[in-house]
Structure 1
Amino acid sequence: MDLQALTLLVEILDAGNLSEAARRLKMSRANVSYHLNQFERSVGQQLVRRTTRRIEPTEIGLRLYEHGRAIRDELTAARDSVAALSQHLQGRVRLSVPSGYGQLVMSPWLIDFKRAHPGVVLDVVFENRVVDLLRDEVDIAVRVISDPPENLVARDMGPVRYVACMTPAYAEAHGVPRALTDLAEAPVITSAVVGRELRLAATLHGERHEVPLRPTLTSENFLFLREAIVAGLGVGIVPDYVVHDEVTRGDVITVLDDWKLRIFGMRMQMLYMPNRHHTRAAATFIEFMLQRARADQAEG
């Protein structure tokens, strides 16, 4: 039996006449009459009796009306349940974020998202390696990368700015690097890629320069790098967010500020698989994080 036709019968009988039913259903009166006649033919019996003032059900029409109304009420209840669930997001989002940016910048964003959507399970991995989203079952990855893989969707989260920095005590004891080439001989504290010579690219007034670096300490853990810089072990070359609070307090100073420094990628990107159906939780999470990133850039 045609469910739409059954629903139409309920609407007609509730309305009391074809004209009112047509108005409620946003259909023409002729169209309502046609579909009613087709339903009666399919059933093989008359379902309604037309009087001068209203439409009344026959015995079989009344039975079908009662079934149809029960089905309509169940559908309404189901829609209400879905609407209630949509107001409280549920699901799981598996996220991979860089150790430094994830801990120092994104942590409060993640906590705010979790407070706003307690029904969403966040599975957060802090790592810097380039992940295989499909193999590692990661929904979303955030990475410092200038040229995202072509097989992934990349959403820009803003620029990454590097600074050369040190403690005032280190500067007093060892002097301040005044030229880019001074960094080639300085004990540098930074992250590094295994098996690759570390070179610092820098731009000043449109001219690009490069100097090789000889780090005295390297690590993928930016919290550890920050501790080493604050301890006065050398000259840090790290993203500005790593030492933002220390610079604000005066515990760390920056040098060569006119230069635009670069070691690795210059953009923070959110990556996920293309043509993949995101849950409402994942889609909401993506937009939430992008909004926070844009707000963070505006404040900066």
Structure 2
Amino acid sequence: MDLQSLTLLVEILDAGNLSEAARRLKMSRANVSYHLNQLERSVGAQLVRRTTRRAEPTEIGQRLYQHGLAIQNELQAARESASSLGQGLVGRVRLSVPSGYGQLVMSDWLIEFKRMYPGIVLDVLFENRIQDLLRDEVDIAVRVIPEPPQNLVARDLGPVRYVACASRAYAQEHGLPTQLDDLQGAPMVTAAVIGRQLRVAAYQGEERREVVLEPTLVSENFLFLRQAILAGLGIGLVPDYVVQDDVRRGAVLTTLDDWRLSIFGTQMFMLYMPNRQHTRATRTFIEFILERARARAAGEVAAA
């Protein structure tokens, strides 16, 4: 058994199947399968259970995986130490952030981080998909979800507050909804999940209600939704950070403020794999974002 064999085992189990491991390693699937068979012969035991969709470790396979992971992490730490001698912090962080929160809240944080650590490469994806958050070797994902997946580490970035709102011109011409049920018949401007009926959950004390919506304009691009709300196309149902500046200057009015509204969840989480030893660059980035999120939450509490 050698380091290359252990590395292969780690890649297979991290990828979840042989085909994905082959893609990451830039090898053919047959070649990956051959080297795995050779490793299992040398150990004298099956290390990976293969199905048509998944590759899962046996008990001894899991033990060897942990050893291989530890060795990889030590090698990465050694490379970092060698490359950063006499230099500032270096490395690469690949992250996936929601389109709205990423552009309207996190973009300033990311620019500030990059100025502080010019040697760290930030590779930022703006997307909203929930499944396979850490595919394609993404180090960190930020998502609005009701409950974080149990197989990932979840760091709380604070609550997400949705607001029902409209432009001042729309409100003057059509009025604003005063009851939750009024949202059902209103022209709604919001985000939705393709293939799923859109429901807004509303909380008031111990009371919880759900209202089915039939929006007139749907998009995952929250900057576009903001434009549509300002243009008077209907009642917006968006996170408060999308229109907070417009509300402050009076261009947008909110309604149903006694209710706590939610579509996708009420918390923002930072998610990452629990079994990876993060590089110094990734650890520094995680702590930086957590600090900015705490400061933002503290500022909102003080302003309330």
Do both share a fold (TM > 0.5)?
yes
| Partner SS state of residue 85, structure 1 | coil
1:212 is aligned to 2:212: yes
> Against the structure 1 CA distance between its residues 253 and 139, is the aligned structure 2 distance closer, same or farther, given a 3 Å change threshold?
same
Residue in 2 that maps onto 1:130? 130
| Partner SS state of residue 157, structure 1 | strand
Residue in 1 that maps onto 2:43? none
Query: Which whole-Å CA distance do the structure 2 matches of 1:217 and 1:226 have between them?
Result: 11
Residue in 1 that maps onto 2:264? 264
Q: How many residues align?
A: 221
How many angstroms does 1:118 deviate by?
Answer: 0.3
How many angstroms does 1:83 deviate by?
Answer: 10
Query: Which whole-Å CA distance do the structure 2 matches of 1:253 and 1:211 have between them?
Result: 21
1:165 is aligned to 2:165: yes
Residue in 2 that maps onto 1:102? 102
| Counterpart contact for 1:180–1:211, Cα < 8 Å | yes
Query: Which whole-Å CA distance do the structure 2 matches of 1:209 and 1:181 have between them?
Result: 10
| Counterpart contact for 1:133–1:273, Cα < 8 Å | no
- CA-to-partner distance for each residue in 1:23-75, whole Å, 9 max, x for gaps? xxxxxxxxxxxxxxxxxxxxxxxxxxxxxxxxxxxxxxxxxxxxxxxxxxxxx
Query: Which whole-Å CA distance do the structure 2 matches of 1:198 and 1:148 have between them?
Result: 21
| Partner SS state of residue 243, structure 1 | helix
How many angstroms does 1:82 deviate by?
Answer: 5.7
Query: Which whole-Å CA distance do the structure 2 matches of 1:156 and 1:284 have between them?
Result: 17
| Counterpart contact for 1:133–1:139, Cα < 8 Å | no
| Partner SS state of residue 292, structure 2 | helix
User: What amino acid does structure 2 have at the position aligned with 1:260?
Assistant: R
Q: Report the identity percentage.
A: 70
How many angstroms does 1:86 deviate by?
Answer: 7.6
Residue in 1 that maps onto 2:37? none
Tell me the TM-score normalised to structure 2 length. 0.70
Residue in 2 that maps onto 1:281? 281
Residue in 2 that maps onto 1:25? none
Query: Which whole-Å CA distance do the structure 1 matches of 2:83 and 2:95 have between them?
Result: 27
Query: Which whole-Å CA distance do the structure 1 matches of 2:86 and 2:172 have between them?
Result: 59
Query: Which whole-Å CA distance do the structure 2 matches of 1:96 and 1:205 have between them?
Result: 34
How many angstroms does 1:201 deviate by?
Answer: 1.1
How many angstroms does 1:132 deviate by?
Answer: 2.4
Q: Counterparts of 1:135-150 in structure 2 under 5 Å? A: 135-150=135-150
> Against the structure 1 CA distance between its residues 87 and 268, is the aligned structure 2 distance closer, same or farther, given a 3 Å change threshold?
farther
User: What amino acid does structure 2 have at the position aligned with 1:141?
Assistant: A
1:186 is aligned to 2:186: yes
- CA-to-partner distance for each residue in 1:99-125, whole Å, 9 max, x for gaps? 000000000000010000000000000
- Structure 1 alignment gaps of length 5 or more: 1-77
Query: Which whole-Å CA distance do the structure 2 matches of 1:106 and 1:238 have between them?
Result: 17
How many angstroms does 1:164 deviate by?
Answer: 0.2
Q: Counterparts of 1:21-60 in structure 2 under 5 Å? A: none
| Counterpart contact for 1:184–1:211, Cα < 8 Å | yes
Residue in 2 that maps onto 1:93? 93
Query: Which whole-Å CA distance do the structure 2 matches of 1:183 and 1:264 have between them?
Result: 17
CA RMSD of aligned residues (A): 1.7
| Counterpart contact for 2:142–2:269, Cα < 8 Å | yes
| Partner SS state of residue 227, structure 1 | helix
Query: Which whole-Å CA distance do the structure 2 matches of 1:83 and 1:95 have between them?
Result: 22
| Partner SS state of residue 283, structure 1 | helix
Residue in 2 that maps onto 1:48? none
- CA-to-partner distance for each residue in 1:216-244, whole Å, 9 max, x for gaps? 00000000000000000000000000001
User: What amino acid does structure 1 have at the position aligned with 2:150?
Assistant: E
Query: Which whole-Å CA distance do the structure 2 matches of 1:134 and 1:172 have between them?
Result: 46
> Against the structure 1 CA distance between its residues 131 and 197, is the aligned structure 2 distance closer, same or farther, given a 3 Å change threshold?
closer
The worse-fitting range, judged by mean Cα deviation, of 253-262 and 198-207 is 198-207
Query: Which whole-Å CA distance do the structure 1 matches of 2:104 and 2:134 have between them?
Result: 27
Query: Which whole-Å CA distance do the structure 2 matches of 1:86 and 1:196 have between them?
Result: 54
Tell me the TM-score normalised to structure 1 length. 0.71
Residue in 2 that maps onto 1:297? 297
| Partner SS state of residue 211, structure 1 | strand
Query: Which whole-Å CA distance do the structure 2 matches of 1:205 and 1:291 have between them?
Result: 30
| Partner SS state of residue 166, structure 1 | strand
> Against the structure 1 CA distance between its residues 194 and 290, is the aligned structure 2 distance closer, same or farther, given a 3 Å change threshold?
same
